[in-house]
Structure 1
Amino acid sequence: MNLQHMTDRSLIVFSDSWTTKKEILDGLINQFVKGGYVTDRDSYKQSVLEREKISATGLENGFAIPHGKSAGVVKAGFAIARLAKPLPADAWASIRSDNQVELIFLLAIPDKQAGTTHLKLLQQLSTKLMNEDFVNQLKTARNPDELFNSLNLDEADSKDNRLTCSHGKNLIAVTACATGIAHTYMAAEALKKSAKKMGVSLIVEKQGANGLEDSPTPEQIKNADGVLFAVDTKIKGLNRFNGKPYIEVNVAEPLKNGEALIDRALNHPQGILRKQIENDSDTLLTSKEITKGFSWKRWGTELGKAVMTGISYMIPVMVAAGIMLGIAKLTWLYIMHLPIADIDLPKYNSFGGFAQLIHYLDLFGGMTLNFMYPIFAMFVAYAIADRVGLISGFLGGIFAAGLNYTLWGITTGLPSGFLGALVFGLAAGYIARFLNTKIHLSKNLQAMKPMLIIPGISVLAIFLLNIYIVSPVFGGLNLLISDWIKSMANGGKIGLSSIIAAATAFDLGGPVNKAAGAVAIGLAADKIFPLTPRVLAIVIPPIGMGISTLIDKWVVGRHVYPADLRVAGNTSFLLGFLAISEGAIPFMLRNPLITVPLNIIGAIAGSVTAVMLGAVQWLPLPAIWGWPLVSNLPAYLIGLFVGVLIIALCNIFIRYHLIKKKEAQGEKIDY
């Protein structure tokens, strides 16, 4: 194959000045623009950066293969950077933590291109990069011309997708990455190499940008001893593998240790793929579902994956809301010099001009934030039941966010918050899945099940769950907390501060938080007790969690949060200064047993410190613009610092300890 057709000498850069990932990507993207491969630099760069968030594009042996698919790419191709000095091991996220990147292939893929010669050549490049001799030849080239000439490879690449062994076992693998190019084919090649060493007959189906390639026949599936899914996306055609033992890992795992994965798939599978209802492709269940017996461990794993799925879809909503709110509030206060408390006044609905625009931007940010719970619950249900769980999960999230009270004109309603969203998401998923597996209809009536029967019954179940269980439970909890805090009104400022702070930090905007707020504001209105612990406990958790994601690498020498939570941490930090505590909710949903107690401890410590040092805040303005209204502001800031530091450091050290414990047990964690 002649890979020269996919690049140009101008796209090959030997650099001794690029020392960061940003410089490399920016430099290569500029070369694409100059060469006419890319017409919209920003959209292509965004696609590359979005791909970087999904999984590591650094691999091993010193190379990385970032890539992006965008409408801004008009001609498929790749650019190459060879560095004079390898980057530090932590400068480019890689499947091997010790990988020092020095050879970078940046792929540009047109958004709508599939099945073309260009795309196939890019796939061949991805596969060829698994050849160490080829990579080393590129790394030892003395100049761009020599490197360019080495891309013209005369040897024929094997197109035999099946590796056979007369005495070995039969395995089927499916590989799929988000863009359907690089990792899809590299994972397939890595598995083929490992299978050959082990004497295992292997068939690899690639679910890439060209659709399904090298798919196994029904006979091959029948004879398979197991199925290995190395995927970052939803598996297509899962029903074909019903009844087969399986394991499922992300698409980068085969590049780390293909032999161990093959052994697991054949000898230690996760379970058996569930037998599905015939012709029910619209409600295809995921490979996490197992047929034989009940296991608390498997059930816990399924719950964890469902929650993580919900969080992954919720974070972009939260980030978007935080950006809108931040722009609006900071512009209103520091550019327009208007009182921040006036930003949501109804008079600005028809005020006209820039003030009306910023007013609506703030309302839009708040509205977007309200959809955080519906999105979370919807995709928790989706992870459990697939498409049939979406609607009931979304409507359960509506209840959790309290949007039903807004639509019904009820001003005293109590939303159930993140706990309610979790309950509704799980309930919707399991109810929909139960209905899908237990209701059997004739072939002519099959369409009624996903379109009518399952949505109707599951939505009604969520409505009744809210009316008779969730709403009364959280309403009763609200009353209980309110009465408890009121009973402590004369119990001493340290005790009362601790209770208000703990209740405020417990569920970050949920019913317990709101109960604490109602009582604290009432006590302040009657001049019985100031709002100091309340306003501090609102901002300490989100700022603390945000700081934690920013300094973990400096404190323990590595990241202790996955990439999605590091993104959420930046938003949490910003929202904390805006007094929006919901920014820390993704952390609570992912690890409640760690996050909730530490939030409470940090809020109590910070609030009590500030109160004992003499800080006093009577007005309900916890955001940064309310701080100048605090009496004894230095004491307030000291309390804030103490609470934030406790949350940040304790989270880092506890999570680091858990990571080291898992690694000691042989589990690979590469954040």
Structure 2
Amino acid sequence: MQLRQMTDPNLILFDVEAESKEQVIKQLVSKLAKEDYLESEQPFLEAVLQREEVSPTGMERGLAIPHGKSTAVKKAAFAVARLKTPLEDWESIDPTNKVQLVFLIAIPTNEGGSTHLEVLSTLSTNLMRDGYMEGLMATNSKEEFLSRLDIEEKVKSNSDKKYDKTVVAITACATGIAHTYMAAEALEKAGHELGVNVLVEKQGANGIEDELTPSVIEKADAVIFATDIAPKQKERFAGKSYVQTRVAEPLRQAKEMIQKALSNPDGVVEENDSEEASQSSSSSNGSGGFLKDAVQAVMTGISYMIPVIVAAGLMMGIAKLGAMPFGLVNELHEAKYATHSNELFVILHHLDKFGVLIFKFMYPIFAAFVAYSLADRVGLVAGFIGGAFAGGLHHTFWGIEGIPSGFLGALILGLAAGYISRFLNQKIQLSKNFQAMKPMFLIPAISVLSTFFLNFYVIDPVFGGLNVVLRNWIESAQGTGDVVLASIIASATAFDLGGPINKAAGAIAIGLAADQVYPLTARVLAIVIPPIGLGLATVIDKYVVGRRVFEADLRVAGNTALLLGFIAISEGAIPFMLRNPLITIPINIIGAIVGASTAVLLGAVQWLPLPAFWGWPLVDNLWAYLLGLVVGASFIAFANIFIRFAMIKKRELAA
């Protein structure tokens, strides 16, 4: 793409004075409107600012690329601001980035899937070229700036160069935009300098680009997987030496990665002659290979699970909000509304049930894609079954009593299914005539059977035992004081967000309330404090520490968790626990204890199991209840922000 065709001299501003990114964006939007690229200024400005909340538009080396899609845009274009003073608080992929050059891209809605990604990829790629940013910053006129926007791709045009080695690569980041292309450019450039032919396939937001053909892969000496998510169609590289790394690594050490792939690879993508079989790579020989595999697997599972949580929460939220004017929020699930004379009640009833049904598939989807990340397609079935066990679907279908293992069970069973399937795929060797039996019969049979026994003898008994211990613990705490009992109930409720321990605590707490022994104040507060606190953290982090501390997918999950928290659905916060349980679980427990204890000490009393906001008016001493909610949620929000910020700074210093 020729960038100069997307702008004109009147859209280029030099020496712009601004104290915030919002001021820069508003100036550029006004300029686009003045030059008649916009039907209306305000709708496009809102679209750009909404996009800013999704993920960073600050890049590296002083560049930021805000963008927006809107029906208010008449013609695709971009405006440029070169700032007089760099901005340090523009959230960027590179945390040290000080933004001085801003490209604001305006795209009509009907071009949203093509034009803006092409502009973004071109700018991201050009950013990696030596002298590109320096040239743009050094220009003295708008005409010179325009002339420097597009550069010749000398590396790719050098057809006479002879290469002794060929390395192929896949780059893919979570959002599929900037780093996907920047990593590809870094690898190609480093390969040119080393005399190695590097060919990169980008698996970005626009799908697979520059797809590697079978003939190219066959001639390759090694492969680099620079990905933050599981690469697609990994089976094509069977038999090739490989290196697995994060997508940002080529920006720092592309040459070292190419040399490692050729001389000291992490392993070999296992050979398999069956076209229907899925492949997996062998375990990394490098330091921390197992941990890296597991972390990437969990991230992949979370990325597929979040839409399930959002969809379920929205269905239940719509149903409950629709029932509020009729006072049926807590009765909506009752069977009589399935055949009620009022058709609206019937729809709301089934919509609420539909949301509950979707939630049932949260853990199967998560565990399936955890296993998929580790073993590719051969891991999907065992992972899905493991997640079904974790969600308690076997209790439902078998008609037995039991408490599901929840998110911890899904995590363990998903990882186990992936590693077992990968091991079987590597170790089972069959003759060519029987190869199809391996992925279609042997691996599913053995991996699913292994998942069954692991759940039957370990996962269910362990978490069932935990529930028994917890129940005895809570019952023994009666009479030891309001705050002690409130702390025990709150900690158990917040531990696994709707999981088995939460449900055990709930059963006992409701029983105590039904007998007028102890109110449900601590219980209902501990349901809503964690999701509201975590959701709040994703909103205010940039104002508290001056930058984002949560990844883009967790920010989306945070918005959902915040909404679901107010309607008492705590599962919206589960992605945070899966991503980093050692941080999230203790903070949730402490926040719930602090909030519940504050409310109880100040005299808040809630006897009814109504934790959602429509139940708040029924609380005695509502001010104390709300104060406890604010205290607990604030603790969770600020603790998460400061701890994650400290971890980020530590990683930056180590790098």
Above 0.5 in TM-score?
yes
**Match for residue 404 of structure 1?**
394
Cα distance between partner residues in 2 of 1:383 and 1:14: 46
Contact between 2:299 and 2:579, CA under 8 Å: does it hold in 1?
yes
Q: Does 1:176 align with 2:176?
A: no
**Match for residue 315 of structure 1?**
306
Contact between 2:304 and 2:365, CA under 8 Å: does it hold in 1?
yes
TM-score w.r.t. length of structure 2? 0.82
**Match for residue 362 of structure 1?**
352
**Match for residue 283 of structure 2?**
290
Cα distance between partner residues in 2 of 1:103 and 1:629: 52
Contact between 1:501 and 1:604, CA under 8 Å: does it hold in 2?
yes
User: 2:280 corresponds to which letter in structure 1?
Assistant: L
User: 1:309 corresponds to which letter in structure 2?
Assistant: T
* Shift of residue 406, structure 1, vs aligned partner: 3.1
Q: Does 1:613 align with 2:569?
A: no
* Shift of residue 605, structure 1, vs aligned partner: 2.0
Contact between 2:214 and 2:236, CA under 8 Å: does it hold in 1?
no
**Match for residue 515 of structure 1?**
504
Post-superposition Cα deviations, 1:437-456, rounded to whole Å, max 9, x if no partner, equal: 23222222222222223223
Q: Does 1:385 align with 2:381?
A: no
User: % of aligned pairs identical?
Assistant: 48
Cα distance between partner residues in 2 of 1:346 and 1:420: 31
From 79, 82, 85, the counterpart of 2:80:
82
Greater alpha carbon shift after TM alignment, 413-422 vs 238-247: 238-247
Cα distance between partner residues in 1 of 2:552 and 2:185: 26
Structure 1 residues 499-578: aligned runs within 5 Å: 499-578=488-567
Structure 1 residues 182-201: aligned runs within 5 Å: 186-196=182-192, 199-201=194-196
Q: Does 1:665 align with 2:654?
A: yes
**Match for residue 348 of structure 1?**
337
- Report the CA distance shift for 1:131/1:486 in structure 2 as closer, same or farther (over 3 A): closer
Q: Does 1:647 align with 2:628?
A: no
Q: Does 1:324 align with 2:323?
A: no
Greater alpha carbon shift after TM alignment, 548-557 vs 142-151: 142-151
Cα distance between partner residues in 1 of 2:26 and 2:365: 36
Q: SS of the counterpart of 2:322? A: helix
* Shift of residue 606, structure 1, vs aligned partner: 1.9
Cα distance between partner residues in 2 of 1:656 and 1:121: 32
Post-superposition Cα deviations, 1:314-361, rounded to whole Å, max 9, x if no partner, equal: 11211222233333323322xx24242122232322334433333333
Contact between 1:20 and 1:87, CA under 8 Å: does it hold in 2?
no
Q: SS of the counterpart of 1:229? A: strand
Report how many aligned residue pairs link the two structures.
Answer: 634
**Match for residue 669 of structure 1?**
none
- Report the CA distance shift for 1:188/1:559 in structure 2 as closer, same or farther (over 3 A): closer
Cα distance between partner residues in 2 of 1:560 and 1:381: 27
Contact between 2:238 and 2:279, CA under 8 Å: does it hold in 1?
no
Cα distance between partner residues in 1 of 2:257 and 2:58: 20
Post-superposition Cα deviations, 1:110-148, rounded to whole Å, max 9, x if no partner, equal: 79989xxx9999977765554465556666778877766
Q: Does 1:373 align with 2:371?
A: no
Q: SS of the counterpart of 1:80? A: strand
Contact between 2:378 and 2:439, CA under 8 Å: does it hold in 1?
yes
**Match for residue 104 of structure 1?**
103
Cα distance between partner residues in 1 of 2:646 and 2:299: 21
User: 2:455 corresponds to which letter in structure 1?
Assistant: N
Structure 1 residues 405-554: aligned runs within 5 Å: 405-410=395-400, 412-554=401-543
Post-superposition Cα deviations, 1:266-303, rounded to whole Å, max 9, x if no partner, equal: 67x672234333335631114xx32659x7x3222222
* Shift of residue 428, structure 1, vs aligned partner: 1.7
Greater alpha carbon shift after TM alignment, 90-99 vs 607-616: 90-99
Post-superposition Cα deviations, 1:51-101, rounded to whole Å, max 9, x if no partner, equal: x96x7554334445578999x9xx9x9632212648834435344631415
Q: SS of the counterpart of 1:317? A: helix
Post-superposition Cα deviations, 1:443-497, rounded to whole Å, max 9, x if no partner, equal: 2222222222322332233333333333333333322322222222233222222
Q: Does 1:246 align with 2:243?
A: yes
Cα distance between partner residues in 1 of 2:627 and 2:533: 14
Cα distance between partner residues in 2 of 1:344 and 1:33: 53
User: 2:241 corresponds to which letter in structure 1?
Assistant: K
Cα distance between partner residues in 2 of 1:400 and 1:408: 14
Structure 1 residues 147-166: aligned runs within 5 Å: 158-160=156-158
* Shift of residue 516, structure 1, vs aligned partner: 1.0
Q: Does 1:278 align with 2:273?
A: yes
Greater alpha carbon shift after TM alignment, 434-443 vs 597-606: 434-443
Contact between 2:184 and 2:202, CA under 8 Å: does it hold in 1?
no
- Report the CA distance shift for 1:33/1:394 in structure 2 as closer, same or farther (over 3 A): farther
Structure 1 residues 260-275: aligned runs within 5 Å: 261-262=257-258, 271-275=266-270
Cα distance between partner residues in 2 of 1:460 and 1:489: 43
* Shift of residue 376, structure 1, vs aligned partner: 0.9
**Match for residue 623 of structure 2?**
634
User: 1:249 corresponds to which letter in structure 2?
Assistant: R
- Report the CA distance shift for 1:155/1:325 in structure 2 as closer, same or farther (over 3 A): closer
Cα distance between partner residues in 1 of 2:345 and 2:102: 51
- Report the CA distance shift for 1:12/1:241 in structure 2 as closer, same or farther (over 3 A): farther
Greater alpha carbon shift after TM alignment, 351-360 vs 375-384: 351-360
- Report the CA distance shift for 1:625/1:123 in structure 2 as closer, same or farther (over 3 A): closer
Contact between 2:368 and 2:382, CA under 8 Å: does it hold in 1?
yes
From 269, 280, 296, the counterpart of 1:305:
296
Greater alpha carbon shift after TM alignment, 401-410 vs 77-86: 77-86
User: 1:643 corresponds to which letter in structure 2?
Assistant: G
Contact between 2:155 and 2:192, CA under 8 Å: does it hold in 1?
no
* Shift of residue 418, structure 1, vs aligned partner: 0.9
- Report the CA distance shift for 1:641/1:202 in structure 2 as closer, same or farther (over 3 A): same
* Shift of residue 553, structure 1, vs aligned partner: 2.4
User: 1:60 corresponds to which letter in structure 2?
Assistant: E
* Shift of residue 28, structure 1, vs aligned partner: 11
User: 1:298 corresponds to which letter in structure 2?
Assistant: G
Contact between 1:544 and 1:648, CA under 8 Å: does it hold in 2?
yes
